[in-house]
Structure 1
Amino acid sequence: MFGTSGIRGRIGDEVTCDLALAVGRALASEGYDRVVVGRDARESGRMLADAAVSGVRECGADAIRIGEAATPTVARSVGWRDADAGLMLTASHNPAPDNGLKLWNPSGQAFDERQRETIAARVREENYDLRPWDDLGEVEAWDGATERHAAVLERSAASGSCSIVVDAGNGVGQVTAEALRRLGHDVRTLNDRPDGSFPVRPSEPTAENCRALADFVAATDADLGIAHDGDADRTRAVTESGEFVSGDCLLALFAREAATPGDEVAVPVDTSLAVADVLERQGASVSRTRVGDVYVAERATDSGVAFGGEPSGAWIWPDDTLCPDGPLAACRLAEMVARRGSLDRLVGEVESYPLRRGRVETDEKAAAMARVRERVRTEYDDVNALDGVRVETGDGWFLVRASGTQPLVRVTAEAREEGRTDRLFAAARSVVEEAIRAVERGGVAGNAERAN
């Protein structure tokens, strides 16, 4: 029921009011007595929020409705309001027909795997503590969440006088512009009217989707551009010349600012060598996690981890909050540019290595991955099977990982020299293709998988 980023799917299909009602009931029945409920700009979020609040109250817990707000605002509000859990109705960077539910702890950390499974089990079993008419929970509205977030951000970064363009993507990240203005920056906005149909650009802030932002920044005197997804948990950036900054490069810049000698930075297994190289030069190191910001956040709870990030745009400063806070990332990036100068120059200080990505389609991805793991462990010395199979070769790496949602296996390779990247990629893809052929011939791993 839950993926690593909560529940997501099409409205009227995977995501319904019945589901939102059930999750609300499960939260209250599990003992979460005060629940913060918020939503992004999608119209379907209104009815889902109504249903979730009804479920919470029906099982005796109180609901605090904060209305339309960014996901990090909702996550932080759990602690601000002395609540026990937060429930955000959002599909994040997914397209307009989708919506979803994500659950938060008072620390700002998303529900972990054990917590998610506990809620899912209650929903599957319809195991709810329904209360009589005189023991229902109460509901209150709080319209101060976004204001509180802006005030906190004002204290979380140094002031400056940069010229910044913020593209909210018709999402709910308007708190970013407000916080940057409070910090003294000159701010212009694009697509800042919340509209869950995302009429101007798709919600996900990729280089292609942010072309208008890049062109606008390059054509003006702006020092940088900021782009969010629909719920503002992700932040991406554009330099003053209009270059869209890669996720790995932005991760390296944030990590370099946050880490001191001896520190670790939590990153997923598909992160570029460039991040490790930047940190090594200042006596810090990477700590690799499974792919997904929820796993980065979990690792960021370890002592010695100064920062956590995922190249997709999720950035976590554990001393501030354990949720990916896009507006906080925007303020920290503006502070960096105000203090260090040109973002183009900062980006130029981070090495960019040749990287190749590909995929191989198969309906037997689990069985194929079992064969891949067996094969690479016999051929390579440095193998990490934390999430898929990552192989380190000294001068590069490759990762073979089954898609969590599609019938395919993804292959990624990177090295410091292009020819070496090509050879690593070819070797990894060959291992995958041979594994799939063996499974399709009815090999041992394929038979085991079918037996299960």
Structure 2
Amino acid sequence: MALMISVSGIRGIFGTDLTPENLSRFTAAYGSWTGGGKVIVGRDTRVTGQICENIVVATLQSVGCDVVQVGVSATPTVAMAVHKHDAAGAIIISASHNPAEWNALKLLNAKSEFLNAEEGREVMNISEEQSYRYKGFDQTGSVETDTEALDYHVQKILELPYINRDLIASKNFSVALDPVNGTGAIALPAMLEALGVEEIYSINDTPNGLFAHNPEPLPEHLQDICALVREKNCDLGAVTDPDADRLALITNKGNLFGEEYTQAAAFDFILDKKKGNCATNLSSSRVTEDIARKHGQKCYRSAVGEINVVEKMKEVEAVIGGEGNGGVINPDLHYGRDSLVGVAIFLQLLAEREVTSDEYRNTLPDYVMRKSKIPLADIDADAILEKAEDVYRDLGPDTTDGVKIDFEDGWVHLRKSNTEPIIRVYSEGISAEKARELADEVVDAVQ
């Protein structure tokens, strides 16, 4: 597996693809791109995190950046620290849901957002051309440590006008956690305790980066937390990925709430408080349109990718956004996925509406999503996409990112993979059979 380089940073297996040399080169490029400004540095719990952090911090100093280290921190906490320190940006050392042998650099700008395409290309060009310049001994940057970044993050959530800590505390909620030995093991208990939740049960809660199961919070990896919820009779289960920007929920009956429905619940709550648009990506569930319609609002779609959702949110002045992978983006806090604010919003919703998590889930429409692929081999990917657009022209397909075709009872989204010679086929229907039927129909039509 070669080093993966994109506008959002670099990612690879440490020691083979991700080496001290390319970590330093890319960091020097980013530090130079900021103009030598103040940069926040945080990391998830991976075993190689400290090594990477040492390299990143020293390199930033070498190109004249002042560094604020926040240590082991959730990605949204690092993002909030950019605002706290009025920084020029941040480097988050985390490979998200990738296995433990991976690590990565994720880059934020001065707005606390992931770099957009233009900003990312500028950093990549500096790295490729090695046009960064190291400073002399009297111009190197300083280093300071912020041990209160999480406290700041939590406090800002408590200050949101629609989060009522006393109401949540009065419900005596019990919550089970599976932070997969990642940063959620630190961040989620702090958030819950601040909300007055006293009964917290946890598995895989040692922040050592040794992931107890595949760290992506998909259904097949969550049976232990479902069992814990049932065993302890909890009101809710919460699961995060290693850097705690994604949130998956478990109902009080120990059933999967559904990653796609995390953002739907947040949309439902926020749109009930304030009127405005919402936004998500093309591959997220249709339930978001249902929620928006319920509140008399519109849900807009962007290309896949967090920064694309953020840019669409700004374009349409969305009051809430997210992604179907369990990402909640609340612009009242910051423009990034945030599991902490997601948990706070969901507990507030349950407290206000006086329903259980299972009862609330049953109020939402049911959709089933399916993911498959078309191997390309000698097939031209663009030709397939063009044919899909032509065959379904009467349905007005969305070509923002590949081709998405909306049917009355579901949809199919075709897009080229950035990492494999395949076309990814996402489909959703009112049943698993319908999702498969729609996908098969489209694939047959284009092949």
The alignment's TM-score, normalised by the length of structure 1, stands at 0.90
Q: Contact 2:7–2:115 (CA<8 Å) still a contact in 1?
A: no
**2:317 pairs with one of 289, 304, 314:** 304
> Secondary structure in 2 aligned to 1:384?
coil
1:163 Cα offset (Å):
1.1
Amino acid at match of 1:370: A
8 Å contact kept, 1:59–1:128: yes
2:37 aligned with 1:22: no
CA distance in 2, matches of 1:346, 1:5: 36
Aligned length: 431
> Following the alignment from structure 2 to structure 1, what is the Cα–Cα distance between the partners of residues 242 and 414?
30
Q: Distance in 1 between matches of 2:147 and 2:109?
A: 20
Three-state SS of the structure 1 residue aligned to 2:442 is helix
Distance (whole Å) between structure 1 residues aligned to residue 381 and residue 147 of structure 2 = 51
**Matching residue of 1:88:** 92
C-alpha change, 1:128 and 1:360, in structure 2 (3 Å) is same
Post-superposition Cα deviations, 1:185-226, rounded to whole Å, max 9, x if no partner, equal: 12222222101121x222212222121111110122210011
Q: Does 1:136 align with 2:148?
A: no
Amino acid at match of 2:223: R
Q: Report matched runs for 1:5-154 at 5 Å.
A: 6-30=9-33, 31-154=35-158
1:369 CA displacement? 3.1
What does the per-residue CA deviation read over 1:400-428, in whole Å, with 9 as the maximum and x for residues that have no partner? 12222122212223344676544422221
1:394 aligns with one of 390, 408, 419: 408
Q: CA deviation at 1:294?
A: 2.2
Partner of 2:258: 246
Query: Is this contact kept in 1: 2:388–2:442, CA < 8 A?
Result: no
Match of 1:443 in 2: none
Runs of 4+ in 1 over 6 A off after TM superposition: none
The amino acid that maps onto 1:168 is: P
Give the letter aligned to residue 25 of structure 1: A
Q: Is the 8 A contact 2:177 2:201 kept in 1?
A: yes
The equivalences for 1:369-388 within 5 A come to 369-381=382-394, 382-388=396-402
Q: How does 1:332-371 map to 2 (within 5 A)?
A: 332-340=345-353, 341-364=355-378, 367-371=380-384
Q: Tell me the C-alpha RMSD between the 2 structures.
A: 2.0
> Are 1:170 and 1:191, in contact at CA under 8 Å, matched by a contact in 2?
yes
Query: Structure 1, residues 249-273: CA drift from partner, whole Å, max 9, x if none?
Result: 2222211111258622111111222
Distance in 2 between residues matched to 1:368 and 1:311, nearest whole Å: 25
Q: Is the 8 A contact 1:150 1:176 kept in 2?
A: no
Change (3 A) 1:356 1:24: closer
| Conservation of the 8 A alpha-carbon contact between 2:42 and 2:93 | yes
Aligned residue type for 1:109:
E
Q: Per the alignment, in what secondary structure is the counterpart of residue 250 of structure 2?
A: strand
Gaps of 5+ in 1: 435-452
Q: Which amino acid aligns with 2:14?
A: I
* Offset of residue 370 of structure 1: 3.0
Distance in 1 between the 2:224 and 2:433 partners?
A: 34
Structure 2 unmatched runs, 5+? none
Report the AA paired with residue 429 of structure 1.
Answer: V
Distance in 1 between the 2:295 and 2:359 partners? 19
Counterpart AA for 1:337: L
Tell me, what secondary structure is at the counterpart of 2:360? helix
Distance in 1, matches of 2:306 and 2:118, equals 16
Deviation of 1:103 after TM superposition, in Å, equals 0.8
Counterpart-to-counterpart distance in 1, 2:145 and 2:16: 29
Question: Distance in 2 between the 1:417 and 1:58 partners?
Answer: 56
The amino acid that maps onto 2:175 is: I
Distance in 2 separating the partners of 1:32 and 1:232: 29
User: What does residue 201 of structure 2 align with?
Assistant: 188
Please state if 1:177 is matched with 2:177.
no
Task: Please say if 1:162 is aligned against 2:191.
Answer: no
1:38 Cα deviation from its structure 2 partner: 1.0
Q: Secondary structure at the match of 1:208?
A: helix
Give TM-score scaled by structure 2 length: 0.91
Cα 1:211–1:3 change in 2 (3 A) is farther
Query: Which amino acid in 2 is paired with 1:362?
Result: L
